[in-house]
Amino acid sequence: GAGVSQTPSNKVTEKGKYVELRCDPISGHTALYWYRQSLGQGPEFLIYFQGTGAADDSGLPNDRFFAVRPEGSVSTLKIQRTERGDSAVYLCASSSRGLNTEAFFGQGTRLTVV
Amino acid sequence: AQSVTQLDSHVSVSEGTPVLLRCNYSSSYSPSLFWYVQHPNKGLQLLLKYTSAATLVKGINGFEAEFKKSETSFHLTKPSAHMSDAAEYFCVVGNYGGSQGNLIFGKGTKLSVKP
């Protein structure tokens, strides 16, 4: 596709449930980022992939959050035992080489935990 | 550690007047700095970036920013605001130390443009 694609665009789930959020980056981009944006705040870094490996996962808030990128393209962010505080817009971005190159963002997945 | 502070949460200007959105940064290294814009219900878009070349950086839509090391600032300006400039603007610093590789966002400045 032409840009970063995120699915679903909206997700409502019950507290305690498991959710998966998908990111399809721009073709050929080796770097992929996940961010979380709460209402009225700037995006907060979660995890950065270079290829298939997580080069920096220092932003993941706790062990309920996990992300994979098994083939170096599509990535899935997984949240276990969701809590109401997980409600936010989850943003994915990709860039051609990572550091210092422009990151292109998707439109995000709005997660609501009820 | 890297950080950015956007000094105004909300700026309101009249159409045709200058825009100034202020940003100060803190960085242990020679920083990479960016401005992103977020229009309602749209994805984040890069306006411009500074990566240790010219200190005055020109971006899209007539925006520019000046890197001032002595003031640790990277303010965003535009000579004449347009209604379509109304959006949320984020100042961003690259966090590239060791194995780290991420962008640190400020809290954002909401720009309103009055007719």
Contact A45 B104 (CB under 8 A): yes
Task: Give the whole-number percent of chain A exceeding pLDDT 90.
Answer: 77
Q: How far apart are CA A44 and CA A33, in angstroms?
A: 11
Tens of pLDDT, residues B26-58: 987 778 899 999 998 788 999 999 877 788 999
pLDDT bucket at A98, cuts 50 / 70 / 90:
low
- CA of B16 vs chain A CAs: smallest distance (Å): 27
Which sign, positive or negative, has the C-alpha torsion B12, B18, B24, B30? positive
Tens of pLDDT, residues A65-95: 999 999 999 999 999 999 999 999 999 999 8
Size of interface A-B (CB pairs under 8 A): 62
Q: Which residue of B has its CA nearest to A57?
A: B100
Please report where in the chains the tokens 């963002």 appear, as a residue.
Answer: A105
- pLDDT value, residue B17: 98
Q: Which residue has the higher pLDDT, B96 or B33?
A: B33
B59 has a pLDDT exceeding 80:
yes
Residue to test with chain B: of A37, A47, A99, most B Cβ within 10 A: A99
Q: Name the pairing type of β-strands B109-114 and B10-14.
A: parallel
Can you name the residues that pair with B12 across neighbouring β-strands? B112
Q: Which residues contact B107 (CB under 8 A, 6 or more apart)?
A: A40, A41, A42, B6, B9
- pLDDT value, residue A1: 53
